[in-house]
Structure 1
Amino acid sequence: MPLPADRKTMLESRRAMKMARSAHAFVRGNTAKFYEWLAASPAASRVPQGPAIWICGDCHLGNLGPLANEQGDVEIQIRDLDQAVIGNPAQDLIRLGLSLATAARGSDLPGVVTARMMEEMVDGYGAALRDPDQDDPGVEPELVRSVKRRALGRRWKHLAKERLDAVEPRLPLGKRFWALDPDERVALQSLFEDGDVARLILSLDRKGKERSVRLVDAAYWMKGCSSLGSLRFAAIVGLDTGKGKSEYALMDLKEAVEPIAPAYRGARLPKDQGERVVTAAKALSPYLGSRMMPVQMLDRSLVLRELAPQDLKIEVEQFSQGQAIKAARYLAFVVAKAHARQLDASSRKAWGEALDADRRGLIDAPSWLWESVVSLAGSHEAGYLEHCRRYALAA
């Protein structure tokens, strides 16, 4: 079922507006151009071919953050797997490096800080490859500590106030939540009556009470940037005890589309896009993967996930020099843990040696990483200015 014409037009306009807000927003929302410009960069032929594993495919700063598991424990992991494929882990490193470099420039930090960030990224990534079961031996940046503290103290009421503008379990129609079409409402009602869906939701209830699941409210959700234009729904479900008492959960339904990120030739990916996203999540971000399932609705493949109150993204308004360098190491460590848990010890060692082999330039980081980030930063800056010009004229 295609999107209604008026909704599609509005989403395209909203996406253009969000990408025009800053160069960092443009990088986050422009995955297709990232891979196009990466393939054309001078360093493309020297990017090493890493082991064939699940990669994020869109590993920018905003796609990392605290996630909760079924027990309520919190860990920083990859939080968006829309672009996940079995591919080259070097692509995740370059995407993260570009995102961090753009955030540093947006914070008006000198270029030498970006060079130091690339060095720390490689050190953090290598530390996790050597021992993925241990915490990062480096200092956890305050940026990460603060978001983890916020996540650990959050409950349903906090999620409701932020996402729903009220503690009452209703979705306020307006800027973010839009009214459903009749066939969308019928499809959602049917979905939450499905036994497999109900079992997933009930399995996330840590209180272990005997409950039933019912759909309380739902709406089309205008959310994200790169995903705007695909189906996206928010749904509040009630977990009823049968004694007149209910608790609530917020569910996210997001269309899974064919990825832009290049997979290795011959990689065996699930044919169903929702199954691909969930399989990748279980490999890369087990705290998230355990709360997801692929579903079919309106002749589309979607991913259903619970939005836990502890699920947050790492937001950067302004980096200080010290925060930028520490964050680069820590976040690369997080990404490496996601990669490393898919590899045996010998494969981790071989991939680590491949990364170290090119660390002999003017900075203590692989030259292909530095040159890729520099080239992409220039391409994205030019692309961003052109996007702003076009958006301003269209507006």
Structure 2
Amino acid sequence: MPISTLPRGAVRPRDRQDVLRDTRNRKMARSAHAYVRGNTVRFYEWLDSLAVHTLPEGPAIWICGDCHVGNLGPIGNAEGDIEVQIRDMDQTVIGNPAHDLIRLGLSLATAARGSDLPGVTTARMIEALMEGYIHALGASTASRRKRLDKPDTVHVVMRQAVKRSWKHLARERIENTRPTIPLGKRFWPLRADERRALARLFEDEAMRHLVTHLRSRDDDAQVELLDCAYWVKGCSSLGRLRYAALLGLHGGNGDGDLYCMIDVKEAVQAAAPRYPRVRMPRDNGQRVVEGARHLAPFLGERMVATRFLDHGVFVRELLPQDLKLEIDTLKQSEAMRVAYFLAETVGKAHARQMDTDTARAWQQELKRQRSKTLAAPFWLWTSIVELMSSHERGYLEHCRQYALGALE
């Protein structure tokens, strides 16, 4: 399609960065909760400002690094099972698990504030968060695999995930079930070198195996790149390389699963604090994939790291079951159950990396420093209060600057 006849909303490659910057600013101005999700740097700057030993030093494990509510949700695996797991690993590092707890607590507290819930509800949510996380640390491996008592908000998303098929994914992502990606607001045209590089990428054997190893697909199926586009997705990652690729499978076993959609995303240096003197992959794409395999096996087994146009990227197939939790508002009756469930989910991701003694020691550390009025560590509560104040100021300032900039 000639550039001069681009559909409404599509953007020329040379104009991408300006439009993406404006899109990110607009998304972050929607609400304080959206600002918290999109401004991870402010959280890391706060961590960097803390005096030594302000926070407990947990065991050296892979952490999400950006553990807010929107980065958890249902994920499907190669065998067709579905679990709620961490679903975004851009900032994953081997670091302090306390950072994930604080980030999740901040996200929940911001959602509670945006839902006009009383402050005492936020305090009870932080207690529930700690209770759920500690329960996961103390549970046996077998009990961690059991289905958790999901709050209604999560049940709704899980039911949607179970019922979804390729047609749902196609309608949601590409608006039709034909083997094309329609350009518009979400998908933009590529430069010629990007299109050629994507064609070469999917000629690689590792990419073919990424697609064919899912259940009911023939290992000998041929993979063909049908269409591709630049993908406008996310918030904090807007501006990085991001591509959607539509692949066709030929010579399979004829079960109707003929197409699949692939996400190719640039991996950049993590801003999340890592523990010193720990060994992690130097390549950022490999770091993301390794972190995913430890924290969210359902996702990690469906990812491959590679190089693309001299950038580290990670590649994954999108499954219809992959959904994120949308909890911008909270009902008071659900608030504690949501906090407990999500913290238990994160606790499971952390605990599977610890032996029994390490998990028990970390569990005992988290039970210390509790006050008579709050069944959660004092450092966790004060951290969330400080961050709420800092992000509220930052959000209002962002809105002022964005609004004035839009008028110029």
* TM-score bin (small chain): over 0.9
Q: Which residue is 1:291 aligned to?
A: 302
- The alpha carbon displacement at 1:208 in A equals 3.5
Q: Which residue is 1:6 aligned to?
A: 15
Distance 2:363 2:327 in 1: 29
Q: Residues 116 and 243 from structure 1, CA distance in 2 versus in 1: closer, same or farther, beyond 3 angstroms?
A: closer
Q: Which residue is 1:19 aligned to?
A: 28
- The alpha carbon displacement at 1:211 in A equals 1.4
Per-residue CA deviation, residues 289-310 of structure 1 (Å, 9 max, x unaligned), is: 0000001110111000000000
1:105 paired residue among 113, 124, 128: 113
- The alpha carbon displacement at 1:39 in A equals 3.6
Q: Which residue is 1:333 aligned to?
A: 344
1:278 paired residue among 259, 278, 289: 289
Distance 2:321 2:353 in 1: 25
Contact 2:13 2:190 in 1 (8 A): no
Count residues with an aligned counterpart: 392
Q: How does 1:224-373 map to 2 (within 5 A)?
A: 224-241=234-251, 247-373=258-384
- The alpha carbon displacement at 1:169 in A equals 2.5
- The alpha carbon displacement at 1:34 in A equals 0.7
* Structure 1 position 222 matched with structure 2 position 254: no
Per-residue CA deviation, residues 220-260 of structure 1 (Å, 9 max, x unaligned), is: 00100111111000001001128998700010000000001
Moved more, 15-24 or 235-244: 235-244
Q: Residues 316 and 381 from structure 1, CA distance in 2 versus in 1: closer, same or farther, beyond 3 angstroms?
A: same
Contact 2:217 2:253 in 1 (8 A): no
1:141 paired residue among 151, 173, 182: 151
Q: Which residue is 2:175 aligned to?
A: 165
Q: Residues 51 and 242 from structure 1, CA distance in 2 versus in 1: closer, same or farther, beyond 3 angstroms?
A: closer
Distance 1:22 1:107 in 2: 11
* Structure 1 position 188 matched with structure 2 position 194: no
* Structure 1 position 175 matched with structure 2 position 185: yes
Contact 1:113 1:321 in 2 (8 A): yes
Distance 2:246 2:140 in 1: 37
Q: What RMSD in Å do the two structures reach over aligned CA positions?
A: 1.8
Per-residue CA deviation, residues 126-146 of structure 1 (Å, 9 max, x unaligned), is: 110001531579742111111
1:63 paired residue among 41, 62, 71: 71
Q: Which residue is 2:103 aligned to?
A: 95
Q: Residues 54 and 164 from structure 1, CA distance in 2 versus in 1: closer, same or farther, beyond 3 angstroms?
A: same
Q: Which residue is 2:37 aligned to?
A: 28
Give the letter for the 2:180 counterpart. Answer: R
SS at 1:238 equivalent: strand
SS at 2:85 equivalent: strand
Moved more, 248-257 or 356-365: 356-365
Distance 2:149 2:212 in 1: 38
Percent identity between matched residues is 55
Q: Which residue is 1:126 aligned to?
A: 134
Q: How does 1:375-390 map to 2 (within 5 A)?
A: 375-390=386-401
Distance 1:292 1:217 in 2: 20
- The alpha carbon displacement at 1:206 in A equals 2.5
Q: Residues 138 and 214 from structure 1, CA distance in 2 versus in 1: closer, same or farther, beyond 3 angstroms?
A: closer
Contact 1:65 1:311 in 2 (8 A): yes
Q: Which residue is 2:6 aligned to?
A: none
Give the letter for the 1:184 counterpart. Answer: E
TM-score by length of 1: 0.96
Give the letter for the 2:294 counterpart. Answer: A
Q: Which residue is 1:46 aligned to?
A: 54
* Structure 1 position 79 matched with structure 2 position 87: yes
Distance 1:63 1:300 in 2: 24
Give the letter for the 1:80 counterpart. Answer: D
Moved more, 50-59 or 354-363: 354-363
Give the letter for the 1:171 counterpart. Answer: I
Q: Residues 391 and 149 from structure 1, CA distance in 2 versus in 1: closer, same or farther, beyond 3 angstroms?
A: same
Distance 2:353 2:38 in 1: 28
Give the letter for the 1:173 counterpart. Answer: L
Give the letter for the 1:154 counterpart. Answer: R
Contact 2:28 2:34 in 1 (8 A): yes
Distance 2:194 2:148 in 1: 49
Structure 1 residues not aligned, in runs of 5+: none
TM-score by length of 2: 0.93
Give the letter for the 2:280 counterpart. Answer: L
Give the letter for the 1:195 counterpart. Answer: E
Give the letter for the 1:356 counterpart. Answer: K
Contact 1:291 1:305 in 2 (8 A): yes
- The alpha carbon displacement at 1:165 in A equals 1.1
- The alpha carbon displacement at 1:37 in A equals 2.1
Per-residue CA deviation, residues 322-364 of structure 1 (Å, 9 max, x unaligned), is: 2111000000000010000000000000000000011234211
